[in-house]
């Protein structure tokens, strides 16, 4: 009955077909050829003899075998991928699972999972727990919750029992799907088969309840966890606290934060925990409370990171409290975690994003005059913003100051290109030619969308000798 609810994969075939192969590194190609030839010649239950091949298994080899099987031998290719994932000298990376899902279109053909397990049973293959875990990881990558629970139920057909890791994979998929009823049923089922939920189980369940807004259920599970002797660590506390923040229960978040601060090292708040609370207060414009959390953070000996600083700077700027921004920067800098240049760069970026360009420009010039070096993002953003607001000449003059300060290496090709085309459009000939020559000297690539306008300008300005080299720079690398 369950089987009929899934689409059958109609692309799978085991028939032979001549293929042209791409050129890989010699060793990888040689290994892939040996494995692929074995798949062609041994047909059903080829896994029994695959281990006899003395060829190296690595990502290049696996990728090439999958590619060769992708059109007309998909079932064998997928079975080879699963077998390779159980090999004693090799383990699939997350990238390889993504690649397998893409090659065999498992997201669009979930019946592939059923097809594989049924082929094992039809061919009377030996299936162990490692085999099933590779299949479950494919389900995890493709986000196939229903197929994953089907795999869990089919383990009995191979005289296998699921372990906690297997249940956790399936529970996580249903939590991500928002089906907390099924996730809860699976968690209770673990106890019935002699398994105990571990820290990962509780984290996934608490996160799932928080994501669907069932905070009371998350809190009850948190208490159950402690009663069952599974002591919450920082990850568990932070998961629940993050759920409070995302659902707007900030007072409860503060209460939980206080509990964490009073606890042992295993559940003490870290920079991510504090930053989550600070970001939540900032998102609601409660900058005073956000700053109070910052003070608690510093008092606990936990220095803020860039995300913390940027959240507070953004909030203070949005509220127009620029004097307090300066006080905040002084506090952060005095703590030794950040330089004054880093903090001021973050401030200027925030001002630009809030369309307070005049203030951003003023502070940027002040940075340069004070011999502070703005970072690359700040340099590029302010130049591009000046160009986009019709002020390429001012941007060019500012670039000259950036160059004098030794920061022009931070300026990227997009900013250079927009600056050059802006100067040409407003007929600033001398500045445009100077910038074009500088770009050529430094090998800076003129971005393709701007080539035609710049070439036209140079022809009209009797600067045609620059065109060959400049258009060469603009071609794709």
- Alpha carbons 108 and 102: distance in angstroms, whole number: 9
Do 106 and 112 touch, CB atoms closer than 8 A? yes
What does the pLDDT average to over 144-159?
Answer: 94
Q: Which of 5-19, 49-63, 267-281, 385-399 has the lowest mean pLDDT?
A: 5-19
231 to each of 9, 84, 282, 330, how far by Cα in Å? Answer: 45, 37, 31, 39
The whole-number average pLDDT for the span 450-462 is: 76
% of the chain beyond a pLDDT of 90: 61
Taking the C-alpha atoms of residue 132 and residue 323, their distance in angstroms, rounded to an integer, is 60
**310: closest CA among 327, 328, 297?**
328
Grouping H, G, I as helix, E, B as strand and the rest as coil, residue 173 is: helix
The dihedrals phi and psi of 72, each to the nearest 5 degrees, come to: -125, 0
Please give the full DSSP string across 21-79, using - where no structure is assigned: -----HHHHHHHHHHHHHHHHH-TTTHHHHTT------HHHHHHHHHHHTTT-HHHHHH
The model carries a pTM of 0.75
- Are the CB atoms for 25 and 104 separated by under 8 Å? no
CA neighbours within 13 Å on the CB side: how many for 434?
11
Lowest-pLDDT range of 246-250, 313-317, 461-465? 461-465
DSSP state of 407: -
- pLDDT score, position 291: 93
Residue 1: which pLDDT band, with cuts at 50, 70 and 90? very low
- Inter-CA distances, 427 with 233, 385, 416, 431, Å: 64, 19, 16, 9
Specify the pLDDT at position 29.
58
Long-range pairs of 48-54 with CB within 8 A, sequence gap ≥ 24: 48/125, 48/126, 50/80, 50/83
Q: What is the pLDDT of residue 323?
A: 86
pLDDT category at 293 given cuts 50, 70, 90 is: very high
- Percent of the chain at pLDDT above 70? 89
CA distance 296 to 293: 5
Other Cβ atoms within 10 Å of 113 Cβ, number: 25
**Mean pLDDT, residues 198-207 taken together:** 95
Using DSSP, state whether 268 is helix, strand or coil.
coil
Q: Which residues contact 270 (CB under 8 A, 6 or more apart)?
A: 234, 238, 302
Q: How far is CA 228 from CA 180, 220, 408, 477, in A?
A: 21, 12, 60, 60
Give residues with Cβ within 8 angstroms of 422, minimum separation 6: 387, 392, 395
The enclosing H or E element of 388 equals helix 376-388
Q: What is the pLDDT of residues 355-409, one digit of tens each?
A: 999 999 999 999 999 989 999 999 999 999 999 999 999 999 999 999 999 998 8
Confidence class for position 22, pLDDT limits 50, 70, 90: very low
pLDDT at 265 > cutoff 70: no
Indicate the average pLDDT of the chain: 87
């Amino acid at each position: 009955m369950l089987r009929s609810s899934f689409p059958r994969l109609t692309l799978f075939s085991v028939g032979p077909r001549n293929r042209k192969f791409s050129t890989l590194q010699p060793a990888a190609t040689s290994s892939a050829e040996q494995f692929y030839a074995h798949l062609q010649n041994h047909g059903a239950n080829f896994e029994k003899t695959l281990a006899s091949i003395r060829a190296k298994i690595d990502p290049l080899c696996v990728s090439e075998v999958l590619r060769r099987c992708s059109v007309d031998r998909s079932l064998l290719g997928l079975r080879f991928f699963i077998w390779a994932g159980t090999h004693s000298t090799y383990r699939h990376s997350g990238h390889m699972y993504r690649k397998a899902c893409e090659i065999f279109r498992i997201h669009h053909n979930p019946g592939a999972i059923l097809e594989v397990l049924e082929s094992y049973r039809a061919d009377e293959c030996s299936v162990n727990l490692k085999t099933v875990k590779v299949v479950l990881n494919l389900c995890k990558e493709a986000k196939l919750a229903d197929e994953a629970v089907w795999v869990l139920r089919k383990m009995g057909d191979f005289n296998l029992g699921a372990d906690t890791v297997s249940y956790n994979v399936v529970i996580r998929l249903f939590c991500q799907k928002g089906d907390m009823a099924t996730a809860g049923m699976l968690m209770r089922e673990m106890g019935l088969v002699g398994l105990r939920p571990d820290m990962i189980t509780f984290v996934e369940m608490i996160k799932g309840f928080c994501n669907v807004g069932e905070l009371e259920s998350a809190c009850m599970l948190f208490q159950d966890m402690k009663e069952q002797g599974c002591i919450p660590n920082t990850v568990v506390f932070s998961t629940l606290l993050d759920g409070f923040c995302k659902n707007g229960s900030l007072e409860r978040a503060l209460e939980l934060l206080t509990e964490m601060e009073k606890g042992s090292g295993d559940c003490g708040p870290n920079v991510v925990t504090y930053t989550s609370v600070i970001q939540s207060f900032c998102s609601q414009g409660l900058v005073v409370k956000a700053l109070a959390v910052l003070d608690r953070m510093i008092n606990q000996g936990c220095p803020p990171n860039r995300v913390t600083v940027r959240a507070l700077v953004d909030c203070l700027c949005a509220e127009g409290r620029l004097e307090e921004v300066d006080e905040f920067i002084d506090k952060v800098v005095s703590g030794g975690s950040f330089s004054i240049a880093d903090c001021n760069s973050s401030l200027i970026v925030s001002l630009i994003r809030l369309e307070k360009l005049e203030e951003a420009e003023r502070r940027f010039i002040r940075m340069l005059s004070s011999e502070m070096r703005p970072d690359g993002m700040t340099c590029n953003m302010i130049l591009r913003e000046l160009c986009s607001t019709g002020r390429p000449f001012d941007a060019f003059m500012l670039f000259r100051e950036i160059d004098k300060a030794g920061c022009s290496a931070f300026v990227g090709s997009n900013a250079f290109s927009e600056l050059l085309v802006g100067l040409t459009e407003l007929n600033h000939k001398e500045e445009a030619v100077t910038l074009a020559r500088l770009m050529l000297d430094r090998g800076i690539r003129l971005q393709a969308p701007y080539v035609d306008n710049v070439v036209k300008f140079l022809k009209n300005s009797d600067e045609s000798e620059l065109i060959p080299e400049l258009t060469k720079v603009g071609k794709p690398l």
